[in-house]
Amino acid sequence: MEEDCCATQLIDAKGQFNAEGLQNFMNKVKLADCGLSYAVVSIMGPQSSGKSTLMNHLFYTNFREMDAYKGRSQTTKGIWIAKCVGIEPCTVAMDLEGTDGRERGEDDTTFEKQSALFALAISDIVMINMWCHDIGREQAANKPLLKIVFQVMMRLFSPRKTTLLFVIRDKTKTPLEHLEPILREDIQKIWDAIPKPQAHKNTPFDEFFNVVITALSSYEEKEEKFKEEVAQLRQRFFHSISPGGLAGDRRGVVPASGFSFSAQQIWKVIKENKDLDLPAHKIMVATVRCEEISNEKLRRLTSDKGWLELEAAVQAGPVSGFGKRLSSILEAYFSEYDMEAVYFDEGVRNAKRKQLESKALDLVHPTYSTLLGHLHSKALESFKNKLEQSLIKGEGFAASVRTCTGSCMLEFDQGWADATIRQANWDASKVREKLLRDVDAHASSVRSAKLSEMMANYEKQLALALTEPVESLLEAGQKDAWASIRKLLKRETQVAVSKFSATIAGFELDQATLDKMMQDLRDYARSLVEKKARVDAGKVLIHMKDRFSTVFNHDNDSLPRVWTGKEDIRTITKDARSAALKLLSVMAAIRLDEKPDKIENLLFSSLMDSTLTVPSSQNRSVRAPTDPLASSTWEEVSPKDTLITPVQCKSLWRQFKAETEYTVSQAISAQEAFRKSNNWLPPPWAILAMIVLGFNEFMLLLRNPLYLMILFIVFLLLKALWVQMDIGRELQRGTLSGLLSISSRFVPTMMNLLRRVAEQAQGRPTPERERPRPSYSLTSQGFRFYAPWPKPVSCTAESSESSNNISSTESGVEYSSTGLMHRRTTNTQEAEFSS
């Protein structure tokens, strides 16, 4: 053959894994490049049954074959692998050492079991080589071996879909249709007899294995017939992993690049598994027979498959029928002891039996305790889940706790009764009491969490219902602000308490706890209002200035005020300051208890009166010691309800006045500017003097028409200059600034007029350019002024710079100040407000 099968010994006779040889094999056949497109075929069966010969003819491998002329002996030692030549996709053949060999002896079957388990774990197709005349025989058909392999494989590895190809050698006249049912029945019996994990308790055999049966003629007697049948069988291995192939429905395939590592780990696990080596027992001395029988039963109990499965199952969770099953296992071993020790001394026999019972119960007690722990955890978890579901459905908390507690305790009691062992008198009352304590603790925890969550929700609702309305009422500063706040607080608190009381009715709380929770909700609502009032009190100066600005700069119809000179600034200022002082009196204290106070009267008498009247220095010296605001508390107001002390009110009022005087002065300046803008003509006495003194010149003009014409032309020229240069607008900005502006524009305007006159005289008039609209407009309606708020006196230089330039774009008059609190004393009226 041109293609080399690369036969390699994978595991030697001593069980040593040839990792280096496997890696070389993979490199030669390029198995790592196959991905998932590869298959593994192995063969197992009795020694000298022609396994290697079949593999060589079937896959063109070169496994060593037995020489019949030299006798029948072991040929294949360990496990060999080779590549199946000419088979697509890439297929790896594995030849196992034969079973029942005399070289290993009758008792040494460990390697046979390990190799068979290894083949089932990594192979997609396992060929079982067996003689036709051995069908129906126990040992030759490998039934005990398959039984152990099936059981241990399900415990050690994740079950995979494996095809079992039974090859019947040297077929006889008995038709295959009669042999196949016998084999399938034997395999099914093996599968039904082995214990299975709980997850695969009712899993059918064909979920993990596909059984295919074929028969071949004798190689020695009918060689040609044998080769023809092998050639037909070979065709079935082409595309074996495709749907419909021998291994078309395989599962859990390891990628080809990880085949070497996977095989090493599987063999390592198999080698280290002590359960595959059944313990050997030696014959004990007759004098210690009872001791030996007792120890033997205990050892058998320790390694008993039923007990081990039960113990392993308990580690994973509760086991139904634990007490009955374990009692049956213990009773079986105790009965065997009685039967084997019946002829020995009665005293020794009974003592050893009690010792056996004690040791056996000590052996199973940890598992029993573990089971009780699982029952405890399961019942507690069941209580938690049922309670959660009950609460989701909207049932009452207390009723749900009672129902779920009874249900979980009943579940525990049933599990405890099911786990009771007849041979032991163990009490589980402590575990039951602990479960009851844990149930109560969880119920209390859930109750506290639910109540806290509900309380938080209602507190959030109160915050939404109170925060913004309270803030709005305080900022409005009306006389009945606190009465409205009290009414709002009472209404929202009653609604929240009523709803909260109805919601927690299902908790069946005692009256004291219920009253405390409702009072906590009321206290929270009150504290929320007080907290909001304190926050707004900290911003009272801003609110006062906003109120002053609103009243001062807007008329009764809330329209922006236009300073025409007719407004009484003194009265307007008094009203604006009164509104701001009312706001201060509202925010000076918390008034949630409907107690009367004199804060507003005291503030008006102390601040407004002193503002509008300037007392003499003598009066000041007399009244200073009796200043009603020289105190840190208000009469009839407790300190905890005080937001702004009298002293602080006085200081705030002084700062407020200082920061609003600039607005008043600007309003006065605006009125003065408006009056000046409307009085730019000469005074009446100057007009009369011009008429009297210029009478002769006027009569001269009337007698000489030429002068009158020249005067008319000069008038037109001056009128054009007046319109072009907008002299009226320039003079409104001030005499000096107006003259400077006119002088700078006079020559260009004059040249422009002469050029236009020349062009019209030549008959080439140019379109008149649209005269730009002046940037300042003066109306006869009035002078509008908006004064920005200057920043507090305590601010930095940046705040002072922000108030340096203040202008009125409508009047064209600009005002400049060099400091934050610059004042203009233009007339005696302003002096009255600066005191």
Relative to beta strand 162-169, strand 209-215 is parallel
| Distant-in-sequence contacts of 108-112, Cβ < 8 A, 24+ apart | 109/145, 110/276, 110/277, 111/13, 111/15, 112/145
**Across-strand partners of 562?**
784
Amino acid sitting at position 419: A
Binding residues for GTP: 45-52
Query: Could you give the CA distance from residue 747 to residue 463 in angstroms, rounded to a whole number?
Result: 73
From residue 105, how far is each of 108, 111, 231, 632, 683 by CA, in Å? 6, 11, 36, 110, 147
Kindly write down the DSSP assignment for every residue of 475-495, as one continuous string: HHT-TTHHHHHHHHHHHHHHH
From residue 44, how far is each of 48, 166, 664 by CA, in Å? 11, 10, 113
* Alpha carbon 716 to its chain's center: 85
Q: How far apart are the first and last CA of the chain?
A: 124
Query: Could you give the CA distance from residue 399 to residue 384 in angstroms, rounded to a whole number?
Result: 14
Q: Which residues contact 261 (CB under 8 A, 6 or more apart)?
A: none
Instruction: State both tokens at 300.
Output: 């058998």
Instruction: State both tokens at 777.
Output: 């407009």
DSSP state letter for 46: B
Dihedral over Cα of 172, 175, 178, 183: its sign = positive
**CB-based contact 7:78 (threshold 8 Å):** no
* Alpha carbon 624 to its chain's center: 66
Query: Could you give the CA distance from residue 23 to residue 14 in angstroms, rounded to a whole number?
Result: 20
Q: Which residues contact 128 (CB under 8 A, 6 or more apart)?
A: 43, 44, 45, 142, 164, 165, 166, 167
Binding residues: 45-52
Instruction: State both tokens at 380.
Output: 């507690």
Q: Which helix (H) or strand (E) holds 777?
A: none
Share in percent of the chain as helix, strand, coil (round to 5): 60, 10, 30
Nearest to 592 by CA among 525, 507, 659: 525
CB atoms within 10 A of CB 730: 20
**Across-strand partners of 129?**
167
Nearest to 668 by CA among 532, 833, 529: 833
